[in-house]
Amino acid sequence: MRVNSEILAALSEATPGLRRYARALGAGAAAAVADGLTQSALQSVGARLFARELRPAGPEEARLEAYIAVTALAARKLVDAPPPGPRHPAIVHGLAALPFEERAVLLLISLEGFGYDATARIVGAPRESVLAWLRRARQALASDAGAPAEMTETTDAPRAHPQAPHLRVVK
């Protein structure tokens, strides 16, 4: 029995999203590190598919398995990643300051558009933990990196154009 071409196509289509997620998860780490994580995760999922250790029900489940693999690899390989440099924007510094679980949950929901249950499956934690990590990550970014300079002024003058938040809220 051959691996379903629909599943392989879904993994191929998921590659840009996996790269984006790995780069954001690295929070300032070299792009080559994120690309290596993505490649290793896809190779791992592909090998498990061909060895019939992994039998996803469909393309979406195969995509979830790829995100699970990237997250697991990143948890191990990004432990000693250097902090972002001074040229990185404030949001990258804010992401780097978050604990890994909070960063992963925030990115999976806000950047990649996964729901709470799918995110819980990807990070291997209960849904309640995912919700708590997401809340803490959003609060940390709002108080540290997300607050634009004009919001920290003490003047009473009204602002003409309030700056939009960096991350959108997904429910």
Q: What CATH number should be reported for the domain holding residue 120?
A: 1.20.140.160
124: how many CB neighbours lie within 10 A of its CB? 12
Over the stretch 20-72, which tens digit does the pLDDT of each residue have? 999 888 887 778 888 899 999 988 888 888 888 778 777 888 889 999 999 99
pTM score above 0.95? no
Report yes or no on 169 lying in a domain. Answer: no
Q: Dihedral through CA 43, CA 16, CA 95, CA 149, nearest 10?
A: 170
Query: How far lies 47's CA from each of 8, 32, 41, 56, 63, in Å?
Result: 12, 22, 10, 13, 14
Structural domain harbouring 28: 5-149
Report yes or no on 31 lying in a domain. Answer: yes
Report yes or no on 159 lying in a domain. Answer: no
Report yes or no on 53 lying in a domain. Answer: yes
Report yes or no on 165 lying in a domain. Answer: no
Over the stretch 102-154, which tens digit does the pLDDT of each residue have? 999 999 999 999 999 999 999 999 999 999 999 999 999 888 644 444 333 34
Report yes or no on 168 lying in a domain. Answer: no
Report yes or no on 160 lying in a domain. Answer: no
Report yes or no on 156 lying in a domain. Answer: no
Tally of domains within the chain: 1
Tally of CA atoms within 13 A in the half-sphere of 61 that contains its CB:
7
SS3 116: helix
More confident residue, 66 or 80: 66
